[in-house]
Structures are given as C-alpha cells and as structure tokens.
Amino acid sequence: MESVKLTRLIEKMKLENLTPEIDVTDIHITQPDINRPALQLTGYFEHFDATRLQIVGFVEYTYMQGLSEERKREVYDEFMSYDVVAVVFCRELKPDPVFMAAALTHRIPLLSTSKSTSAFMAEAIRWLNVKLAPCISVHGVLVDVYGEGVLITGESGIGKSEAALELIRRGHRLVTDDVVEIRKVSDDTLVGSAPDMLKHLIELRGIGVVDVKALFGTSSVMDTQNIDLVIRLEDWDRDKEYDRLGLEENYTEYMGNKIVCYNIPIRPGRNLAVICESAAVNHRQKKMGYNAAQELYARVQSSFARKREE
C-alpha cells in the first residue's frame, strides 16, 4: 500500500504543529480521502474510518464549544481511541484544553492551518491523490511538448534520449529520462514523474550523464506532467505497412487507462524532434475538434461527388 509521511503534508501545506511533544516522523497517511468528524463528535462511530485525515472546521468547532465538560471528555476519549492519524483545525482555530489533553494522552497529533475548510480540503485531497495513486515504472522518456505530455518509448539505444535533448534545445521541457514513474490519479489521468535519483538528468551514449537543469536552466525541466500521448520508436521495416493517413487512432494501455499511441519508424534523415512536435500539435488539434486526416477524407469525398455530377 502506498503511503506518505505526515511530515511531508505538514511541510507542503505549511501546517502548524500544536502538539510538538508528539513525534510525527513515523506517522504515515495511507488514504487520499479526508473526514470531517461531525457525526463522531455526537457519539456515532459506525463506519468511522480513522485512517483518514480528520478535518475540524467552523461547524465542528462551534458544536464542540457547546458541549459540557463531562460530555467532552467522554466523546473526545472515544474519538481518540481509534488511533486517528492526525486532526487538522482550519481557520486558525485552536482546540480546547480537554481536546488537547485527550490528544496528548492518546498521542494524536493536532495541526492548524489558516486556510478555510473547503480550500484546505480541496488542496489536501488533490495532493494526496497524486502521492497515494497506484504507481508503476516504465522505460522511456517523458517530455512536455507545447503543453502535451509526450512519453517516448522504444528499445534501448534507439534514440529516445537524443530526441528528448533536441526537444529541450528547441524550448520544450524534460520531465524524466530512462525511468518514468506513472501514477494513476483518476480513471482519465496518468501523471508521470522522475525518480528522485534521476531528476533533471539525461543519459547520452558516448557522452555520459548530463544535467539538463544546469545546462539549459530551470525553464527546461518540470517535476510532473500528465501523459497525453505515447510515441513508440521502432527500427524501419520496409516490409511493414505503416499508417499514412491517421484516420483511426491506435492506443496503448497503462494501469487500465488508454493513451493514444503513434508508432514511428526510425531511419537516417528523419528528424525525431520535429516529428514529436508535429505529433503533439496534431494530437492537441484533435482534442480541440480538428482532425487533418478527416478533413482530407472529406475533401476527397467531395471531389468524387463533384466528378459524378459532371
């Protein structure tokens, strides 16, 4: 099961730790969803998922303020007994002394943020969905080309890194070379990133490892990008029939998500960078409703119709 350290959430969301006495370095979050414990504060604990991050907003806070001291001790103690991963108070709200004492007794971290409840929930869920998404690693190069995430795959040594380097030189951005970590963020979205060890580095046979960020500047790299298009490089086979119109899309699949895939044959004289740029722009046009192959087909059909009329 994927997990993310609570300390990373604290750092990312700039949370204030209200219980510095509690060591949070070994606490991990395993669920991207969150919970607002309104029902639990009333004493209803059926189907309570304590593994979720618990968020206390203004509504929960005002309800807690109206409880008697005896009821607070009873409900808080039962709430904390579920080994809650952490409780975040939004709008800079602070827990009352009874809640603080119960948290310290059960070793439950209490955190605080100045953000509104809805804003914090949305940001936390988005970030956790990415960090906790199912992940696989594939061999390839991921480059941002005109805003489209292009995953270049193919056999080792076929020229993926060289094509990526030329794209970078032409103003596009490298996400990762050699190893692409693909996370399934949703049923429609795959996000690619680089392993920490290989971030911003590219390998060129005969030269070695090159630091793209140092050579071309921070504008030449990015940490993550959606995978919109796959370009599979392969050796030219003169006996193979290649698609020359593109009326029908070919797809490849990663973790159940289908991605448009172009098979590009390699032979001397073909400029891979220009081909990748053209594929990215063409794919973008199709998403915007324009298909050049269908336009050509319509013109041919129109020409045949005119000749029949003559």
What are the residue ranges spanned by the domains of the chain?
4-131, 135-296
Residue 161 marked ligand-binding: yes
Residue 186 marked ligand-binding: no
Rounded CA gap, 139 and 128, in Å? 25
Structure tokens at 129: 């969905």
Residues 6+ apart with CB under 8 A from 262: 229, 230, 231, 232, 250, 279
Catalytic residue status for 235: no
Catalytic residue status for 160: yes
CATH topology of domain 135-296: Rossmann fold (3.40.50)
- The closest of 73, 81, 89 to 108, measured between CA atoms, is 81
> What is the pLDDT averaged over residues 78-89?
94
**Catalytic residue (choose from 178, 232, 284, 286):** 178
Residue 154 marked ligand-binding: yes
Check residue 89 and give its pLDDT: 97
- Identical fold, 4-131 and 135-296: no
Residue 159 marked ligand-binding: yes
Chain segment 225-265, per-residue pLDDT in tens: 999 999 999 988 877 777 777 778 889 999 999 999 999 99
Chain segment 172-211, per-residue pLDDT in tens: 999 999 999 999 988 889 999 999 999 999 998 888 999 9
Residue 155 marked ligand-binding: yes
> What is the pLDDT averaged over residues 262-281?
89
Domain 4-131 bears CATH identifier 3.40.50.720: no
Instruction: Indicate the pLDDT class of residue 146, thresholds 50, 70 and 90.
Output: very high
Q: Residue 61 pLDDT > 80, yes or no?
A: yes
Residue 112 marked ligand-binding: no
Instruction: Indicate the pLDDT class of residue 1, thresholds 50, 70 and 90.
Output: low
Structure tokens at 85: 């991963």
Rounded CA gap, 101 and 248, in Å? 65
Range with the lowest mean pLDDT among 117-121, 219-223, 247-251?
247-251
Rounded CA gap, 145 and 147, in Å? 5
**Catalytic residue (choose from 244, 306, 307, 308):** 244
**Catalytic residue (choose from 72, 160, 173, 200):** 160
- pTM of the model as a whole: 0.76
Chain segment 154-163, per-residue pLDDT in tens: 998 888 999 9
Which residue has better confidence, 173 or 288? 173
Residue 152 marked ligand-binding: no
Catalytic residue status for 200: no
Check residue 241 and give its pLDDT: 77
Instruction: Indicate the pLDDT class of residue 143, thresholds 50, 70 and 90.
Output: very high
Check residue 310 and give its pLDDT: 67
Residue 22 marked ligand-binding: no
Which CA distances in Å does 93 have to 8, 10, 60, 63? 22, 16, 11, 13
Rounded CA gap, 94 and 247, in Å? 61
**Catalytic residue (choose from 94, 126, 139, 205):** 139
> What is the pLDDT averaged over residues 102-116?
96
Q: What angle do CA 31, 34, 35 make, to 5 degrees?
A: 125
Check residue 178 and give its pLDDT: 92
| % of residues, the chain, pLDDT over 70 | 99
Instruction: Provide the β-strand partners of residue 180.
Output: 138
Buried b (16+ CB within 10 A) or exposed e, 224-262: bbbbbbbbbbeeeeeeeeeeeebeeeeeeebeebebbbb
> What is the pLDDT averaged over residues 217-230?
95
> What is the pLDDT averaged over residues 16-32?
94
> What is the pLDDT averaged over residues 74-102?
95
Residues 6+ apart with CB under 8 A from 19: 100, 103, 104, 108, 109, 110
Rounded CA gap, 182 and 193, in Å? 7
Residue 206 marked ligand-binding: no
How many CB atoms lie under 10 A from the CB of residue 286?
Answer: 16
